[in-house]
Structure 1
Amino acid sequence: MRTLTSAIEWLSGVVWGVPMLLLLVGVGVYLTIGLRFRTLRDLPFAIALVWRGRIPEGKGDIAPFNALMTALAATIGTGNIAGVATAIFIGGPGAVFWMWMTALVGMATKFAEAVLAVRYREIDDRGKYVGGPMYYIKNGLGPRWTWLGTAFAIFAGFAGFGIGNTVQANSVADAMEASFGIPFWLTGCILATLVALVLVGGIKRIATVAGTLVPIMAVAYVGAGIVVLVLNAGAVPEAFGLIFKHAFSPIAATGGFAGAAVWAAIRFGVARGVFSNEAGLGSAPIAHAAAQCKGPVSQGLVAMLGTFIDTIIVCTFTALVILSTGAWTSGETGAELTSLAFSTALPGVGAEITSIALAVFAFTTLLGWSYYCERSWEYLLGVKAIIPFRVLWSLAPILGASVKLSFVWLLADTLNALMAIPNLIALALLSPVVFAAAKEFFATRGKSENNPY
């Protein structure tokens, strides 16, 4: 077991190393330039599309808005609470700046993923729309590349049971036991029951639950963050100053903070940013492929807002709470650091706010990733795999909540990175399709109600 763990640790270091981070950011920069910065210039238009996307328009299974909420359900999770704190602990305040930069170019990546997912989606044997990297690799690149789509589906199918299920259940169980004294096994059983009740209804019920829970939890968490920032208003300008200054200059050790070089800020800012918003990993387009949208580009614009909301809004509030309260110099890291920051500003309720937010975020991640994994196993084994998968997925939180998962976390994190490789190759090779579709859309926008994009 020790040999296997060492081997996976080595592989994890490779796949999450500098080349992978450069590839993720590089593809995002390439797509941003190729799209002529439309993902940034047309942000207000994208927001308007999201509002309009509450009403289905076109072929698909769920409303465009609910497709976005399903994708956000999977991305707004432990990365927004623990991931941001870890980036600051290791890379210093400057890591937040590089999280922002990763998100801004990641918007183009997410846009391209959704465009291709809708363009190359299929209808399965049940009459449901299915899509994602495995389908746009197979249908967009042709039969010679099918093996690459299969590789993605295998990586995603196994990674989900770790990063999207047992690890999430473990995070919820830890938070509930620490704050409310609820036994680990009981949390696992409750999660298993709730997940099973949702999965019975398939993507439509997942989307409905996500469309309700995600906006409420995001607004509530950001609202709590606003309260903290108002109470520490005098420290907010200094927090921004720390972010911008130490994005380009090293920061010395202070209190329990060990200090960090600029390279650490860049590396961990980029890594935690990608972990949080999943741009480039290929997960979100699986949800967007089911959208009842007018066309690929309109859904791409909706999809890119997921990265903006996750990192630029939610992660930023976590970072500002940690920095403005001074908790970042305490020596704590992960969720404990975020909890300490809220507790410092809101004694008596701060820790509970963090625990509840973590629990709800993790639960919605369980739901979002259930859909990603289900589609992956359906691609590999056909629709006959759906029911057995749902049974296993519903039972897994019981195990996840009750045992230590250091090896599972390591393995899932490695598989998560491996998902990105087939997806990024496909995005680069199919980028002309994305650029042509976007050019056509924006050239005809407002001129024809029959615009197919």
Structure 2
Amino acid sequence: MAHIESFFGLVGDLTWGWSLIPILVILGVFITMATGFVQFEFFGRMFRVLTRGPEDGNKISAREALLVSIGGRVGGGNIAGVAVAITLGGPGAVFWMWAIALVGMATSLVECSLAQLFKRADDDGDYRGGPALAIIHGLGSNYRWLAIVYAVCLLAAFGVGFVAFQGNTVAAAANDSLGIDRWYTGGFLAVLTGFIVYGGIHRIAKAADIVVPIMAFGYIGLSLVVIVMNAGEIPAVLSSIFANAFGLEEAVGGGMGAAIAQGLRRGLFSNEAGLGSAPNVAATAEVRHPISQGITQAFSVFIDTIIICSCTAFVILLGDVYQPGAEDVNGVALTQQSLVAHLGDWTQYFLTGAVLLFAFSSIIYNYYLGENAMAVLWKSPIGIHLLRIGVVGVVLLGAVAPSATSVFFFSDPMMGVLALVNLMVIMMLFPVAMRILNDFRKQLKAGVERPVLNIEDFPDLDLDPKAWPKRS
């Protein structure tokens, strides 16, 4: 067992420790420049998804796909991860989280547009896609082995490991704050998870449509109360963020270097841009053009980091609990104690509820990623059925095992390999992404309010006519 752990530790060091973050940053900057800063060009269009429903009521709408992906991106990283970044990197880490999010919006737009482009319609008329199908239908059958590597990593990291982590997070929060036994929480969570996942993507989307707005608007609303109460301190906080980000002030050992490292790392973990997870959900939506869903998913990155992570950062930096250089209070405890200092003891229970909702939305999101991986590895309905049973069991196991993180030690390394595969695919298919982006721009320039993908214009691409029916 020790040898296995050492192997995965080495894989984790070679990905997250040496290569992955620099590649994500460099690729994000390249995509931003090569696309002409596309995330800013279409920023105004992002908000349209909040009010527009599907043209077919039986399909997953762009807004539902957005909420499912937000439910997956938004999690412990937005509450605990931001606190860790500030503790280890100082206030300047917040600036670099913002920077990587703005760059990551372009990466997310491209990867999710490609997932949409190469999606497939199943027998029920639902859509399924993601990097694995982009590999098979975009790069060709000779690269099927790469799609299998991707699917195995996706299933192991998200469908198993991270599901257990989220179950553990929920049970720990309920036990610490409310004194509820882990078995009760785990049992309830397992039953609820089973009910949602056995409804397939439609029930997952409907659950996200309810849970995500409640958790997001509730947390943002409470944070805005804190910000308004301390409005006079905001200029000083912003000054501290920028001064620390560029080494003009030093809040922690390592100065500007620590701020950059922590901000980039925590930002990438939080918004998942380029990691190859969100495209699986993006492909389920019914849209007229792939770029439309890419724009929507770029908006998801903006909501996750620029809005929700910033809420946590301001709650911490506007209070007195955080002391630069001190590491005795960090993680979720720092966020919790900061809220209590601002608004009173009752907020610790509110934060527990927020953690519960964040974690549950991540569980159903991670399950769907596992289902999408299973559809590549084993197309039989039996495989999906076994996965659903397994996920329910893993939720319970993760909830009752205090050392769940050590049991599922393989998750982060597998996600590292997953991300590297996804980044290779993005680069190999980037010319295709530019073709459909230029097609989208061309239609807008011609006065078309809602551009439509006509697959006849791309006869050399292996596209599914059922997934892209001809529109008038």
Shift of 1:414: 1.5
Provide Cα deviations, 1:79-120, integer angstroms capped at 9, x if missing partner.
Answer: 111111111111111111111111001101111112111110
Shift of 1:164: 2.9
Provide Cα deviations, 1:6-48, integer angstroms capped at 9, x if missing partner.
Answer: 3323321221124211111111111111211121122112212
TM alignment of 1:176-215, pairs within 5 A: 176-215=174-213
Shift of 1:394: 1.5
1:328 partner SS: coil
Letter paired with 2:194: A
Provide Cα deviations, 1:230-280, integer angstroms capped at 9, x if missing partner.
Answer: 222333222212211111117546xxxx53421121112111111111100
| Contact kept? 1:77, 1:362, Cα under 8 Å | yes
Give the match for residue 304 of structure 1: 298
Provide Cα deviations, 1:402-431, integer angstroms capped at 9, x if missing partner.
Answer: 111232453211212221111101111111
2:36 partner SS: coil
Shift of 1:398: 1.1
TM alignment of 1:243-258, pairs within 5 A: 243-249=241-247, 252=250
Give the match for residue 105 of structure 1: 103
Structure 1: gaps of 5 or more residues: none
Match of 1:142 among 131, 135, 140: 140
Mapped pair 1:356 → 2:353: yes
Letter paired with 1:69: L
Letter paired with 2:246: F
Seen in structure 2, the aligned counterparts of structure 1 residues 207 and 302 have a Cα distance that, compared at 3 Å, is same
Give the match for residue 469 of structure 2: none
Shift of 1:375: 0.7
Match of 1:313 among 301, 307, 312: 307
TM-score (ref. length: structure 2)? 0.91
Letter paired with 2:378: L
Structure 2: gaps of 5 or more residues: 454-472
Letter paired with 1:386: I
Seen in structure 2, the aligned counterparts of structure 1 residues 180 and 366 have a Cα distance that, compared at 3 Å, is same
Give the match for residue 92 of structure 1: 90
| Contact kept? 1:90, 1:260, Cα under 8 Å | no
User: Aligned partners of 1:437 and 1:326: how far apart in 2?
Assistant: 50
TM alignment of 1:323-362, pairs within 5 A: 323-329=317-323, 331=327, 332-362=329-359
Provide Cα deviations, 1:53-76, integer angstroms capped at 9, x if missing partner.
Answer: 3x1137983011000111111111
Give the match for residue 42 of structure 2: 42
User: Aligned partners of 2:107 and 2:450: how far apart in 1?
Assistant: 26
Identity over the aligned pairs, expressed in percent? Answer: 36
Letter paired with 2:175: E
| Contact kept? 2:68, 2:208, Cα under 8 Å | yes
TM-score (ref. length: structure 1)? 0.94
Give the match for residue 229 of structure 1: 227
User: Aligned partners of 1:202 and 1:268: how far apart in 2?
Assistant: 37
Seen in structure 2, the aligned counterparts of structure 1 residues 355 and 27 have a Cα distance that, compared at 3 Å, is same
1:62 partner SS: coil
Give the match for residue 115 of structure 1: 113
Match of 1:322 among 292, 301, 316: 316
Give the match for residue 432 of structure 1: 431
User: Aligned partners of 1:292 and 1:8: how far apart in 2?
Assistant: 38
User: Aligned partners of 1:250 and 1:394: how far apart in 2?
Assistant: 50
| Contact kept? 2:245, 2:256, Cα under 8 Å | yes
Letter paired with 1:27: L
1:104 partner SS: helix
Shift of 1:452: 2.0
Letter paired with 2:432: V
Shift of 1:51: 2.7
Give the match for residue 461 of structure 2: none
Give the match for residue 418 of structure 1: 417
